[in-house]
Amino acid sequence: MTANPSQNINANVNITKQATGSQALLDGLIHEGVKTIFGYPGGAIMPVYDALYDYGDQLEHILVRHEQGAIHAAQGFARVSGKTGVVFATSGPGATNLVTGLADAMIDSTPVVCITGQVFAHLLGTDAFQETDVINITTPVTKWSYQVTNAEEIPHVLAKAFHIANTGRPGPVVIDITKNAQLQLFDYEGYHKCFHIRSYKPKPDVRTSYIAEAVAIINEAKRPFVIFGQGVILGNAEQEFRAFIEKGNFPAAWTILGMGAIPTDHPLSVGMLGMHGNYGPNLLTNECDVLIAVGMRFDDRVTGRLDKYAKQAKIIHLDIDPAEIDKNVKTTVAVWGDCKETLPLLTQLVQKNENQDWLQKFNECTIKETEKVIFPEQNPDSEILTMAEVLRCINEITQGEAIIVSDVGQHQMVACRYAKLNQTRSNVTSGGLGTMGFALPAAIGAKYGAPDRQVIAIIGDGGFQMTLQELGTIMQANVNVKIIILNNQFLGMVRQWQELFHHNRYSFVNITSPDYVKLASAYRIDAKKVEQRAELKSTLEEILAHDNPFLLEVMVGKENNVFPMVPQGRGVSEIILSKEEL
Amino acid sequence: MKQEYTITVYTENQIGLINKLAIIFTRRKINIESLNTSPSEVEGIHRFTIVINETEDVVRKLSRQIEKLLDVLKVDYNTDDEIIWQEMALYKVSAEVITEKVKVERLLREQGARAVVIRKDYIIFECTGQREEINNLIKILEPYGLLEFVRSARIAIIKKSDGFHNKVKEFEYKVPSETLVENEFLDQNESVFSM
Ligand SMILES: Cc1ncc(C[n+]2csc(CCOP(=O)(O)OP(=O)(O)O)c2C)c(N)n1
Ligand SMILES: [Mg+2]
């Protein structure tokens, strides 16, 4: 038998094959290790969905009920897994529905790649049906965005997008692909991951000079205090961070997004910073002599009034993003770099320390806060249920092993104050943007990102009604998440401000709810409502052991407030434990 | 203290970059006094020269935000005494007046202006210099019937001797920039079925 000469030629040189832009896109996603896509189809992205039809065995597509749900789900996925979340949406309204999620991912440094369909290239700028200027709408809320009008660009633009989204300080990327490029056949030479972009430096080089300067200051400190943010988690530097604080015996407090980087009950973990954080970390920020900030950005919710913030302290700031250095708080020494690299260098050189008296001060604060706030909130005298006791019960059942996804408002502050977390990447919440409606879709994504873990979404009655249509997604894909609505019949956080700062003038914060149990049952999701303390713990036990998604509505006190609080415009050490101190 | 700063930005030649740069200023309500963009000496690399009036603290923060943009290669900022800078201006003046008054001719020459177009009805002068010199010439010409005036953005070169050329050349050696793929579809106007 004679060999087929043309076959030989193929085997030797021809790895190029014809593919459409859409096929190249999906092939690229597979090469990037993507398994799950959250999306919603439409006219301008139909060729991609058509190609997806043939990739069912390799790519799982979760059909959401609104594109905002898709991107929040992708964020939830990314936050618990560390992988890049992927979103598909159509042009025009599909793309504009992503904007809130992009802004959220941008400010919370979450890696997401959004693929949006766009009208045919020759129609750009003609006000064609469902044409919007997606790149210009999304530019301020993306780490990078790019419009593809020719299929040949797809492989390298996609590779660039994944590299940018999940290196350095992560963030969202939008790739807008015109319909002609999705349809276009071209010679596809295979997918090559991107590892370098000459105009992009994911992390600054570490210089030993500032390590030495920082160590000199830290080793002189009498009252060192470490504050840490999500940078520790994003940098996968949890172990390095722990080694650092353990060697120096430094008390360490978290920002809302740093929560869980070390177990919340770690002996050196002294609680949460910020407006509704713990008493000690806020108060003692203004008593430490050296403040070591790791992977956090001195948000105003953390610092309170800047001119009353840690004025007495020398400040050491470890950050990967040079734009964060000196942005809000002037540093004494800036340790630029990836904290996974810089922390071990510091750990090596810092002295072992006891800091007993100083740690004791945090302890005293905790005792005071427990007595005045934590214990009474978690074990209330009155018959009315509190949010904090729901969290106590959850902790008793999960023992800190669950992922807690929270929405925005009082219940969020309570969840982040009281939840016990043993593992990193267990706290999913909208920190920088404070996006109500985040939790339900984010919980869906979190379940896909960590299928073996219990995912509990804690949501207010207001926020739940912003994205409740995602119950449809949960129903259709049978996503095993536990939804706990803490119903105080108010837009509670706003009501609290109106009570404290606007003379009890309750202006449009009274919100009514549908019958959530009926609503859930309409979506064929099991549900219960709890109003009595006697039923609370047993019902929680029941739903957390349940094999399927479950919705639990808990009626809690209508006009309870979250304390402690650093009132806006005040310094962190002016933190108050009750309304009377205002 | 607020003063004039010239920010020099080297970028990839990417569509949309001017907007990405501009919104860094507009978001913070900072006025751009002057903005010039042009190809640099290296193919595929653009140079922006931006003038703003701000404190050094603000300028430093802005520069870091600019440097953070993808597609931005390098950012530097300088005060006026650290740079050599020039603007160019064109002045259109009625020919009648000028030819009548020889004095004007002499004044213009003293200011370093030269005529670039001479017509029966008007003459166009060009002057290159700093803000004050150019403003000065407006004052001189106004009484003689200035018909039209336009000023270019500032261009500036940094005094310190090492300069940018080698730095920019270095970028060229690191993986050449991806040139934009030519797109036949953009020019195609026949109707295509679209949903
Ligand atoms: C999309 C959006 N709109 C408005 C706000 C302002 N806001 C912050 S908290 C809050 C109230 C939230 O009410 P609810 O969800 O019931 O939670 P609660 O505070 O009662 O626990 C509002 C309206 C916001 N954060 N996000
Ligand atoms: Mg509420």
> Is residue A123 domain-shared with residue A46, that is, in the same domain?
yes
Query: Under an 8 A CB cutoff, do B70 and A181 touch?
Result: no
Same domain, A273 and A398: no
Chain B 93-132, residues with CB within 8 Å of chain A CB atoms: none
Q: Is the CB of A567 under 6 A from ligand 1?
A: no
The two structure tokens encoding residue A458 = 């804690």
Measure the N-to-C terminal CA separation of chain B; round to a whole number of Å.
57
Report CB contact under 8 Å: A199, B181.
no
Tell me which of A107, A408, A508 to substitute to probe ligand 1's pocket, judged by most ligand atoms within 8 Å of the beta carbon: A408
Instruction: Give the span between the Cα atoms of A22 and B194, in whole angstroms.
Output: 16
Instruction: Looking at the structure, tell me whether residues A212 and A179 fall in a common domain.
Output: no
Q: Same domain, yes or no, for A319 and A450?
A: no
CATH of the domain at A246: 3.40.50.1220
Chain A residues with CB-CB distance to B64 below 8 A: 322-323, 325
CATH number, position A76: 3.40.50.970
- Look at residue A6 and tell me if it is in a domain: no
At residue B175, does pLDDT exceed 60? Answer: no
Q: In this structure, are A435 and A352 located in the same domain?
A: no
Q: What residue of B is the nearest CA neighbor of A326?
A: B61
Omega prior to A564 cis, within 30 of 0: yes
A179 labelled catalytic: yes
Distance from CA of B12 to the nearest CA of A (A): 7
Instruction: Spot the catalytic one: A46, A83, A130, A535.
Output: A130
Q: Are A163 and B178 in contact (CB under 8 A)?
A: no
Residue B6 near residue B85, CB atoms below 8 Å: yes
Ligand 1 midpoint to CA A513 (Å) = 14
Pairwise CA distance, residues A200 & A159, whole Å? 14
Within this chain, do residues A24 and A119 fall inside the same structural domain, yes or no? yes
Nearest CA to A229 out of A281, A283, A177, A190 is that of: A281
From the list A43, A144, A149, the residue facing B70 with the nearest CB is A144
Strand arrangement, sheet containing B34-39: B34-39, B45-54, B3-12, B72-79
**In this predicted structure, what is the pLDDT of residue A15?**
66
Give the β-pairing of A60-63 and B146-151. unpaired
Q: pLDDT of chain A along its 582 residues, tens only? A: 444 444 444 344 446 789 999 999 999 999 999 999 999 999 999 999 999 999 999 999 999 999 999 999 999 999 999 999 999 999 999 999 999 999 999 999 999 999 999 999 999 999 999 999 999 999 999 999 999 999 999 999 999 999 999 999 999 999 999 999 999 999 999 999 999 998 899 998 898 899 999 999 999 999 999 999 999 999 999 999 999 999 999 999 999 999 999 999 999 999 999 999 999 999 999 999 999 999 999 999 999 999 999 999 999 999 999 999 999 999 999 999 999 999 999 999 999 999 999 999 999 999 999 999 999 999 999 999 999 999 999 999 999 999 999 999 999 999 999 999 999 999 999 999 999 999 999 999 999 999 999 999 999 999 999 999 999 999 999 999 999 999 999 999 999 999 999 999 999 999 999 999 999 999 999 999 999 999 999 999 999 999 999 999 999 999 999 999 999 999 999 999 999 999
Q: A102 C-alpha to center of ligand 1: Å? A: 19
The answer to whether B12 contacts A199, with C-beta atoms less than 8 Å apart, is yes
* Structural domain that includes position A54: 14-188
Flag if B181 and A119 touch (Cβ within 8 Å).
Answer: no
Q: Please say whether the beta carbons of A575 and A429 come within 8 A.
A: no
Residue A145 forms beta bridges with which residues? A174
The confidence score (pLDDT) of residue B165 equals: 79
Name the residue in chain A with its Cα closest to that of B70: A200
Could you say which ligand is closest to the alpha carbon of residue A412?
A: 1
The residue whose CB lies within 8 Å of the most ligand 1 atoms, and thus the one to mutate among A71, A107, A436, is: A436
Ligand 1 atom, smallest distance to A493 CA: 19
CA distance A299 to chain B (A): 16
Domain-located, residue A524: yes
Q: Which tokens is A448 given?
A: 């896909």
HEC states along A126-160? CCCCCCCCHHHHHHHHCCEEEEECCHHHHHHHHHH
The set of residues, in sequence order, having a beta carbon less than 8 Å from that of A115 and lying 6+ positions away, is A25, A45, A48, A86, A87, A88, A89, A175, A177
Q: Which atom of ligand 1 is nearest to the CA of A437?
A: 1
Q: Are the CB atoms for A407 and A438 separated by under 8 Å? A: yes
Contacting residues of B for A156, CB less than 8 Å apart? 178
Ligand 1 pocket check for A460: Cβ under 6 Å:
yes
Assigned domain for A380 exists: no
Q: At what angle do helices A339-349 and A208-220 cross, to 10 degrees?
A: 50
**Among candidate residues A296, A326, A361, the one where a domain is terminated:** A361
**Number of the ligand closest to the Cα of A407:** 1
Query: If you search the block for the tokens 């978690």, which residue do you land on?
Result: A378
Domain assignment present for residue A126? The answer is yes
Q: ipTM for the complex?
A: 0.89
What chain B holds in terms of domains, given with CATH numbers, is: 3-83+155-172 (3.30.70.260), 86-151 (3.30.70.1150)
Tokens describing residue B88: 């160019």
Are A178 and A120 in contact, with CB atoms under 8 Å apart? yes
- Residue A444, in any domain of the structure: yes
Which residues, listed in sequence order, are joined to residue A26 by a DSSP beta bridge?
Answer: none
Domain membership flag for residue A582: no
Between CA A460 and CA A415 the distance in angstroms is: 11
End residue of a domain, out of A155, A188, A221: A188
Measured at the CA of A247, the angle between CA A246 and CA A249, to 5 degrees, comes to 60
- Using N-to-C axis directions, what is the helix angle for B56-68 and B17-26, rounded to 10°? 150
> Is A170 in a helix, a strand, or coil?
coil
Substitution candidate for ligand 1 out of A491, A494, A565 with most atoms within 8 A of CB: A491
**Is position A106 annotated as part of the catalytic site?**
no
Beta-carbon separation of A164 and B70 below 8 A: yes
- Supply the pLDDT for residue A195: 93
A242 & A333 share domain: yes
Cβ contact A199–B65 (<8 Å)? no
Residue A184 bears catalytic tag:
no
CA dist B135 and B130 (Å) reads 9
Catalytic-role residue among A143, A160, A179, A203: A179
Number of Cβ within a 10 Å radius of residue A352: 8
CA of A421: how far to CAs of A268, A397, A418, A480, in Å? 14, 12, 9, 20
pLDDT at residue B183 greater than cutoff 60:
no
Say if residues B15 and B177 touch (Cβ distance below 8 Å).
no
What is the residue type of B81?
Answer: D
**B67 vs A46: CB contact, 8 Å cut-off?**
no
Q: CA-to-CA distance for A503 and A489, rounded, in angstroms?
A: 20
pLDDT at residue number A9: 40
Q: Which residues make Cβ contacts (< 8 Å) with residue A490, sequence separation at least 6?
A: A461, A462, A509, A510, A511, A558, A559
> Do A290 and A437 belong together in one domain?
no
In a domain, A56, yes or no: yes
A8 located within any domain? no
* List of residues 6+ apart from A477 with CB closer than 8 A: A62, A63, A444
Q: Is the CB of A101 under 6 A from ligand 1?
A: no
Q: Touching check for B188 and chain A: CB below 8 Å?
A: yes
Number of domains chain A is built from: 3
Q: How many angstroms separate the alpha carbon of residue A298 from the centre of ligand 2?
A: 28
pLDDT, position B173: 63
The answer to whether residue B195 scores a pLDDT higher than 90 is: no
pLDDT-derived band of residue B172, with 50, 70 and 90 as boundaries?
A: low
A491 lines ligand 1 (CB under 6 A): yes
Half-sphere exposure of A529 (CA within 13 A, CB side): 14
Residue from the list B16, B68, B73 with its beta carbon closest to the beta carbon of A323: B68
State the count of interchain CB pairs (< 8 A) between A and B: 85
Does A327 share its domain with A213?
yes
Alpha carbon separation from A375 to A312, A388, A406, A463, A492 (Å, rounded) = 32, 9, 22, 27, 21
Looking at the DSSP assignment, which residues form a beta bridge with residue A39? A63, A88
- Å between A62 CA and nearest CA of chain B: 23
A→B contacts (Cβ < 8 Å), by residue, are: 43-44, 46, 119-124, 128-129, 135-136, 139-140, 143-145, 147, 149-150, 152-153, 156, 164, 178-181, 184, 196-200, 321-323, 325-327
Residues A158 and A256 in one domain: no
Residue ranges of alpha helices (H) inside A311-355 are 339-349
Q: Do A198 and B23 count as a contact with CB atoms less than 8 A apart?
A: no
Q: Whose Cα sits closest to atom 24 in ligand 1?
A: A436
Q: What is the pTM of this model?
A: 0.93
Query: Same domain for A212 and A172?
Result: no
Question: pLDDT tens digits, residue range B106-165?
Answer: 777 888 898 899 888 998 999 999 989 999 999 988 888 889 999 999 999 988 877 777
The rounded distance, in Å, linking the Cα atoms of A560 and A554 is: 14
Q: Taking all residues of chain B, what is their mean pLDDT, rounded to a whole number?
A: 84
Q: Are residues A480 and A541 in the same domain?
A: yes
Q: How far is CA B181 from CA A151, A178, A305, in A?
A: 10, 14, 50
- Which ligand lies nearest the alpha carbon of A460? 1
| A67 included as an active-site residue | yes
Nearest ligand for residue A276 CA: 1
Q: What single DSSP character describes residue A340? A: H
- SS3 state of residue A525: coil
CA distance linking residue A30 with residue B110, whole number of Å: 70
The pLDDT value recorded for residue B102 is 66
**Chain centroid offset of residue A444 CA:** 13
